Amino acid sequence: MFNKLIVAILPWFPKKFVWIFSKSYISGETLEDAMHVSKDLNSKNIKVTIDVLGEFIKNLEEAEENKTEYLNLIDITFKNKVDGHFSLKPTSFGLLIDKEVCYKHIREIVAKAASNNGFVRIDMEDSPCTDDEIALFRRLKAEFPATIGLVLQAYLKRTLSDIESMMDLNTEAIPVNYRLCKGIYVEPEAIAFKKYEEINQHFLEDLEFMLKNKIYVGIATHDKPLVEGAYVLLEKYNVPKHMYEFQMLYGVTPRLRESIVNEGHTMRVYVPFGKQWYGYSTRRLKENPKMASHIIKAIFYKG
């Protein structure tokens, strides 16, 4: 209750207090910060996927700026020999303002990644974006089959049928590449599972379908029962190491992450950075109000 109250009054907190909490989840404000954290994770046998925080844009100039930032990020990542992919949110490139402009920006980013043997994943946003993000993925996949991946959310009731309807994209030579996560947005009950057990059951159903059908999957969760469920399925279908990986958010459940790495599985950590850390942080806090205690500690012990 107390933590929820803190989250509710969050907008009135000074930004610097939120930063004290946020710095465990965000690599920093600059590209250098992202490189530093990524190299550190690489040294622990963990791959990364880097995200420039910038999802709340108001005009197409900001979309253009975001594209430039990603092109620069790709250059610097390869120059630094970081073992990493790139994650992006189409709304940062104008999906909700002009779909064609958004496509052209993302195409340029994917083309640049492709010329360096890189990989770009389209994060999945809230349900008004789902159809457009699947369409964007299909269009890019046709031109860059080995460079582009998509995220699917197990809480959406449509997800299994989306996977089935995209089976034409899956070939033995170049398997389709998804990240499967629970989903982070607040969605209406008519289209989304709400209960923890229901979401987990559908997560495992979606995962089983992917593994059975030789789809590459990034298993993105910090939920121990799901990690254990995934282990069972990986064994059941005798899935080779090159067909899956685990993924986690930077700063979340590092001990579970370490145990997965120690078991010999590939691990990739989502490393967000950028000046727009505030929106990302407050979303993480709303998702897990228990973390509000970090802010309280910051006020009393460090503030």
- Residues carrying an active site annotation: 123, 179
| 229 lines the binding site for ligand FAD (CB under 6 A) | no
d(C-alpha 183, C-alpha 212), whole Å: 22
First to last CA, the chain: 23
Output the smallest distance, CB 131 to ligand FAD, in A: 15
Measured from the CB atom, the residue of 77 and 153 that comes closer to ligand FAD is 153
Segment 139-178, which members bind ligand FAD (CB under 6 A)?
A: 151, 153
| 287 lines the binding site for ligand FAD (CB under 6 A) | yes
| 181 lines the binding site for ligand FAD (CB under 6 A) | yes
| 243 lines the binding site for ligand FAD (CB under 6 A) | no
| Number of residues that this document lists for the chain | 303
Pattern 71-110, binding to ligand FAD, x per CB under 6 A?
A: ----------------------------------------
Out of 184, 243, 261, 299, point to the residue binding ligand FAD (CB under 6 A).
Answer: 184
| 185 lines the binding site for ligand FAD (CB under 6 A) | yes
Output the smallest distance, CB 150 to ligand FAD, in A: 9
Output the smallest distance, CB 223 to ligand FAD, in A: 4
Whose CA is closest to 119, among 177, 63, 173, 79? Answer: 177
| 27 lines the binding site for ligand FAD (CB under 6 A) | no
> Residue 153: helix, strand or coil by DSSP?
strand
d(C-alpha 266, C-alpha 146), whole Å: 19
| 223 lines the binding site for ligand FAD (CB under 6 A) | yes
d(C-alpha 92, C-alpha 112), whole Å: 18
Measured from the CB atom, the residue of 50 and 211 that comes closer to ligand FAD is 50
> Residue 244: helix, strand or coil by DSSP?
strand
| 124 lines the binding site for ligand FAD (CB under 6 A) | yes
Output the smallest distance, CB 225 to ligand FAD, in A: 9
The helix or strand, by DSSP H or E, that contains position 210, with its residue range, turns out to be helix 196-212
Output the smallest distance, CB 173 to ligand FAD, in A: 26
For residues 82 and 27, the answer to whether their CB atoms sit within 8 Å is no
Pairing assessment for the beta strands 120-122 and 267-273 based on DSSP bridges = unpaired
Pairing assessment for the beta strands 47-52 and 148-153 based on DSSP bridges = unpaired
Angle at the Cα of 116 from the Cα atoms of 179 and 163, rounded to 5 degrees? 20
Number of amino acids touching ligand FAD (CB under 6 A): 25
Please report how many Cα atoms fall inside a 13 Å half-sphere around the Cα of residue 196, on the Cβ side. 4
Positions in the binding site for ligand FAD (CB under 6 A): 123-124, 151, 153, 179, 181-185, 220-223, 226, 247-249, 252-253, 270, 284, 287-288, 291
